[in-house]
Amino acid sequence: MSYCVNPNCPNPENLAYSERCQSCGSRLLLRSRYRVVKALGQGGFGATFLANDEALPGEPSCVIKQLRPSGTAPHVLQMARELFEREAVTLGKIGNHPQVPRLLDYFEEREQFYLVQEYISGSTIQQEVKHIGVFTEAAVKQFLSEILPLLEYIHERKVIHRDIKPANIIRRAQDSRLVLIDFGAVTNQVRQAVVNYSEHTALTAYAIGTPGFAPPEQMAMRPVYASDIYALGITCVYLLTSKSPKDLEYNPTTGEIIWEHHVHVSDHLADVLRKMLEVSVRNRYQTAEEVLRALELEPYLESLSKSLVSQPSGGVKERTVQRLEDSGIYSSNPSGVSGMSVAQVAAAIRARRAKITEGAGVTHAGGTRQRTLTTKSTTLASSCSSSQGQKAQAMRQLDSQNLIAAYLKGRRDFALHNLNLLNLQGANLSETNFHSSQLQRVNLQGANLHNSDFGRASLNRANLRDSNLTKAYLNNADLEGADLRGADLSYAYLQNANLRGANLCGANLTGAKISEEQLALAKTNWMTVRPNGRRGLL
């Protein structure tokens, strides 16, 4: 079929390969090469169409966006032309990213402006929620881990998207990667146009973004990079609830969206989302990198929170702070730590743990204050140790029988434990924290390790054959020489993991966060399911 793009055409559908529209007489072949086959969407900005490029072999599909000015006055057309050209330049600048559609062409024809972009085949995440249901917390964190680096890339090029929402994020069918589309509302932070004419209403209304997803400063035509952070936060709320902003209540006093009671997520993820959704720009995350850093704390906060909650209610924070000060973490902090949140405490603990891992001993100012922390909170005690001797004490040993018995009694925190050589074949240890533990040559064949945390753990030459590692967190884990044949690693987070010599033959890596460089170091075969869902070596 040939589709007419004349906005005033009463019947735009025509027979395939027609030269002119049978209803209005308009030429159907744009720029003598692009044949529009159907409309994809329409808004105040204009319309979007699916087309075929007849000038190329195979007539590949492409997307054509038509900018429709709100009037025909000379100054309106001139402004539309300037906006159009600036957008084309911006898209050309950021279109080299694999998660952004490439700009293929742009042109003006009969006082209509056209952008031609790469066609992305797949479903939007809005469609995913409608067809499959809401996302889990793990899926939202995976979503953020894919989108935030892209957002960082865009912002580094001084571009604000201004229309991030579920309908503008496509999961590409080819490789399951998330692609950000519809840059029609982009603005260049350095050269933002100032609109003074009332005739420009239709153009500027679209440029503001989508109501509900756009924060107050953007609706007031003062967008900043943090405006995209807010829109991404609203998108996450939609993924968790299937509710768009218009279906949620607002606090009439503060203007904040009321969403917490609709979701069931960890306190830390709720805190991250809450800061992404701050109405005040000053209190919101300023960069995508800040959000990524906050999310990296997630694997540690559950055990930390449990250890704090398990203590008597009176003076919990004061005692925790005292312990941190005794361990030397805050000995150089002149302002004290009385106003710290759990996330801030966790950040300090992790910084301390990093120093310990590197073998750096910490000496207090007086050289005499070194207390051994209570063993009731394994994560807190081990991460706050101020010497290698304390680290050795915290790296406690458990045999297979005691570990399984503890798990059956409800214990889920085995961080910083020495579990080398244990036989845990077939054990159910899902959603367990093994962060920074020693698991060398451990036998976990056929074990259920779904959604477990192995961040920075040593799994050197471990037997993980046929194990369930779906959605497992393996960031910076050492898997050198590990046997992962037949293991289910779908949607696992393997970024920065050492896979040198690891056997991934027959493993399922669908949706896993892993690079081609990492896979190149491992053993794979034609039965290995790669992150894009396809089997094979390539």
pLDDT tens per residue across span 42-97 = 765 678 899 999 999 999 999 998 887 666 677 777 777 777 777 788 788 787 78
pLDDT tens per residue across span 439-456 = 999 999 999 999 999 989
Has residue 430 got a pLDDT over 90?
yes
Confidence band for 348, pLDDT divided at 50, 70 and 90: low
Give the residue-averaged pLDDT of 190-202.
34
State residue 379's pLDDT score.
41
Which residues are annotated as part of the binding site for ATP? 65
Of 53, 163, 228, 466, which one is the catalytic site residue?
A: 163
Cα-trace Rg, the chain: 27
Which residues are annotated as part of the binding site? 65
Give the residue-averaged pLDDT of 387-412.
71
Cα gap 61→66, rounded to integer Å: 16
Give the residue-averaged pLDDT of 298-313.
47
Has residue 347 got a pLDDT over 60?
no
Top pLDDT among 411 and 391 is at 411
State residue 70's pLDDT score.
64
Give the residue-averaged pLDDT of 387-407.
68
Top pLDDT among 340 and 283 is at 283
Give SS3 for 121: coil
Confidence band for 258, pLDDT divided at 50, 70 and 90: very high
Has residue 135 got a pLDDT over 60?
yes
Give the residue-averaged pLDDT of 428-432.
93
State residue 224's pLDDT score.
92
Structure tokens at 361: 């001993």
State residue 22's pLDDT score.
92
Domain ranges of the chain: 2-118, 122-295, 299-394, 399-538
Give the residue-averaged pLDDT of 193-216.
54
Q: CA–CA distance from 285 to each of 168, 228, 237, 273, 347 (Å)?
A: 22, 10, 16, 10, 16
> Of 85-94, 310-319, 326-335, where does the model show the most confidence?
85-94
How is domain 399-538 classified at the architecture level of CATH? 3 Solenoid (2.160)
pLDDT tens per residue across span 222-248 = 899 999 999 999 999 999 999 999 999
Has residue 136 got a pLDDT over 50?
yes
Least confident of 70-74, 199-203, 280-284: 199-203
Give the residue-averaged pLDDT of 101-122.
88
Has residue 104 got a pLDDT over 60?
yes
Has residue 189 got a pLDDT over 70?
no
Confidence band for 186, pLDDT divided at 50, 70 and 90: low
Confidence band for 188, pLDDT divided at 50, 70 and 90: low
Give the residue-averaged pLDDT of 94-107.
86
Round the average pLDDT of the chain to a whole number and report it.
Answer: 79
CATH number of 2-118: 3.30.200.20
How crowded is the C-beta side of 534, counted as CA atoms within 13 Å? Answer: 8
Residue with tokens 């050795």: 392
pLDDT tens per residue across span 475-508 = 899 999 999 999 999 999 998 999 999 999 999 9
Has residue 333 got a pLDDT over 80?
no
Cα gap 509→496, rounded to integer Å: 15
State residue 345's pLDDT score.
54
User: Please, are residues 39 and 64 in contact by the beta-carbon 8 Å criterion?
Assistant: no
**Count of C-beta atoms within a 10 Å radius of residue 29:** 17
Nearest C-alpha neighbor of 486 from the set 471, 468, 507: 507
State residue 77's pLDDT score.
72
Top pLDDT among 252 and 360 is at 252
Q: CA–CA distance from 21 to each of 16, 18, 41 (Å)?
A: 11, 7, 20
pLDDT tens per residue across span 9-55 = 999 999 988 899 999 999 999 999 999 999 988 765 678 899 999 99
Structure tokens at 465: 């054959």
Confidence band for 420, pLDDT divided at 50, 70 and 90: very high
User: Please, are residues 188 and 194 in contact by the beta-carbon 8 Å criterion?
Assistant: no
How crowded is the C-beta side of 285, counted as CA atoms within 13 Å? Answer: 25
Active site annotation includes 483: no
- What percent of the chain shows pLDDT beyond 70? 75
Give the residues across from 14 on adjacent strands: 2
State residue 303's pLDDT score.
47
| pTM of the model as a whole | 0.55
State residue 328's pLDDT score.
38
State residue 324's pLDDT score.
41
- What percent of the chain shows pLDDT beyond 90? 47
CATH number of 122-295: 1.10.510.10
Sign of torsion, CA 13 16 21 26?
A: positive
User: Please, are residues 91 and 183 in contact by the beta-carbon 8 Å criterion?
Assistant: yes
Phi, psi of 341 (to 5 degrees): -90, 170
pLDDT tens per residue across span 518-531 = 998 999 888 899 99
